[in-house]
Amino acid sequence: MVTSKKIYGLVGYPLSHSFSPKYFQKKFQKEKIDDVSYELFLLENINLFPNLFKNNPNLQGVNVTIPYKQTIIPFLDELDESAKKVGAVNVVKKLKNGQLKGYNSDIFGLQQTFDNILTYFPTQKPKALIFGTGGAAKAVEVCLNDYLIDFQYVSRQSTKENCCQYENLTNNILENHLLWINTTPVGMYPHNNQCLPIVYDVISPQHFLLDLIYNPEETLFLLEGKKKNANIQNGLQMLHAQAEKSWEIWQSNC
């Protein structure tokens, strides 16, 4: 049966960790929006993306998650300033002319998150460590720059300036950077037993650990901080904020 419902969804690989369908389903029920649906589009290869909209004429827009926030860009016709600024896309909208435009709503979610985090540092802004260098890390970098927070990247490979490899991460660096931000999928469901390869003994109650993962609610990364009485936060608040921004983008008249 042909459906007249507008379709939105999530593109990525894997997708078993995502809460986005539940979030939008609850939103649609609460707000009595009954002419839309939100679906998962599991793509093993980003080269399959162009056929997604061709094969689903009612598809109006998608969220984009790991690992495609950057590699999706060449398949889009236009980028919003938010996506240009970050260099990554997590929202795609089909415009009235049929073209695809990329946006980044992660930065809106991160702004709310950092507003909350900085209340824990009332006298002096902390220095931050960004674990990972992917699309989410780029959004974090933009927000840290906006908040004038000094930061350093940590990655398996020193792929960019101001980036330290895990094996070169000293206790001194860990102790003096009080805000730790995990932007990698390490520890995400179903790989709950995985953890970033860092020295957790240096964590103090003055540290704040932010994990952009929200499933599980507390990753091993966050649990290590909790053991040391550090402040911790997962990515659920960010998910909700960026999801609302995604919906706003899809419903705009552009």
- Return the active site residues: 69
Match 């970098």 to its residue by tokens. Answer: 141
Best CA proximity match to 182, nearest among 206, 160, 198, 168:
198
* Beta strands 59-64; 91-94: pairing state: antiparallel
Written as one letter, the residue type at 72 is: I
Contact 184, 211 (CB under 8 A): no
Q: Quick count: other Cβ atoms within 10 Å of Cβ 124?
A: 7
d(CA 107, CA 242) in angstroms, rounded, equals 8
Structure token pair of residue 253: 């008249």
Q: Quick count: other Cβ atoms within 10 Å of Cβ 97?
A: 6
Match 């704040």 to its residue by tokens. Answer: 208
Instruction: State how far the alpha carbon of 221 is from the alpha carbons of 60, 120, 199, 247, in Å.
Output: 36, 19, 11, 31
Task: With H, G, I as helix, E, B as strand and everything else as coil, classify residue 112.
Answer: helix
Best CA proximity match to 195, nearest among 208, 209, 205, 206:
209
d(CA 28, CA 237) in angstroms, rounded, equals 19
d(CA 91, CA 106) in angstroms, rounded, equals 9
